[in-house]
A and B are shown apart, each in its own frame.
Chain A
Amino acid sequence: NAGVTQTPKFQVLKTGQSMTLQCAQDMNHEYMSWYRQDPGMGLRLIHYSVGAGITDQGEVPNGYNVSRSTTEDFPLRLLSAAPSQTSVYFCASSSPWEPAGYGYTFGSGTRLTVV
């Protein structure tokens, strides 16, 4: 099925380790974004991209890096994991060329625990 694929679904890291959360979409969407979801805090935007080669910071970018070399892929890198990065991470994509009513498609998430 077409959509947004996130891997891995679960991950446990030790403090200071680095890792990359993978996100791929097959809908030819230009816009992709990463959110983290924490209890009581809702979904907060980490980084986003409006097309290949173009990325920008969201609300909570510190400690994370992104790159967008292709339309399909938008990996999120944790440079040096900290317990505060324990969260559920969602990748989402959308087409900016559709009208305002066009929704975002979300992946099923990566649950990350940093110990």
Chain B
Amino acid sequence: TQLLEQSPQFLSIQEGENLTVYCNSSSVFSSLQWYRQEPGEGPVLLVTVVTGGEVKKLKRLTFQFGDARKDSSLHITAAQPGDTGLYLCAFRGGSNYKLTFGKGTLLTVNP
């Protein structure tokens, strides 16, 4: 059973377009993290959302945590080729600190 379902799996858009990717679960989480992974590199943390309904902005990236803390979304405004990468959501276990990932959304932004 996949605890975190990410959609879409692949997304190819033109520079300047807006997009939203999703991270869904039937479980309730105390927090969710979003990472971006560029080709040939390891994932890099973008943001952590903690409170239900929380919205966090990172330049052109807007992250939202669902009211019930079961889902999260990432919206990118005016995408640029530099946004290309694999976007991963993850949750961290409480007592053992294990980090569990969704399978990710592979975003390609074409110039």
Contact = CB atoms under 8 A, between A and B. Distances in A.
Given A33-B98, A100-B92, A90 B42 contact: yes
Contacts of B33: 101, 103
A92 B88 CA distance: 15
Nearest to B94: A100
- Majority DSSP secondary structure for residues of B touching A: loop
Chain B: number of interface residues, binned into ranges: 20 to 34
A109 B43 CA distance: 10
B40 interface: yes
Contacts of B30: 100
A106 B44 contact: yes
A104 B45 contact: yes
Interface of A: 4, 31, 33, 40-43, 45, 48, 50, 56, 58, 90, 92, 94, 96, 100-104, 106-109
Given A33-B98, A45-B98, A48-B98, 20 more contacts: A31-B97, A41-B103, A42-B88, A42-B101, A42-B104, A43-B43, A48-B96, A92-B42, A92-B99, A94-B99, A100-B30, A100-B50, A101-B48, A102-B48, A106-B42, A106-B43, A106-B44, A108-B42, A109-B41, A109-B42
